[in-house]
Amino acid sequence: MSVFNEAVRRRGQAEEDMFFAKLDLELIAELHKKHDHEQLSSNRSSMNQDPNDIIYPDIK
C-alpha cells in the first residue's frame, strides 16, 4: 500500500474514532443527567415520607 493511501486510511479511521468518542461523551452525559434526575426524585419522595418509617420500617 502506498504511503498516500495509508495516510488517507489513517485519517479516515481517526475521524471515525473522533465521531464515536464524541457520541460516547454525549451518551454518558445523558446517563449522568438521568441518574441525577432519578436521585433527585428519590430524595424528594423520601423527604415526604414519615421519618419513623425510614428508621423503623417494620413497626406500625
- 12, part of any domain: yes
Read off the pLDDT of residues 14-44 as tens digits, 9 standing for 90 and up.
999 999 999 999 999 999 999 988 888 877 7
Structural domain that includes position 40: 3-55
Q: What is the pLDDT of residue 11?
A: 97
- 24, part of any domain: yes
Query: Is the pLDDT confidence value at 2 over 60?
Result: yes
**How many Cβ atoms sit within 10 Å of the Cβ of residue 45?**
9
Q: Choose between 58 and 25: higher pLDDT.
A: 25
Number of domains in the chain: 1
Q: What is the pLDDT of residue 50?
A: 63
- 60, part of any domain: no
Q: What is the pLDDT of residue 32?
A: 94
pTM of the model: 0.59
- 19, part of any domain: yes
- 44, part of any domain: yes
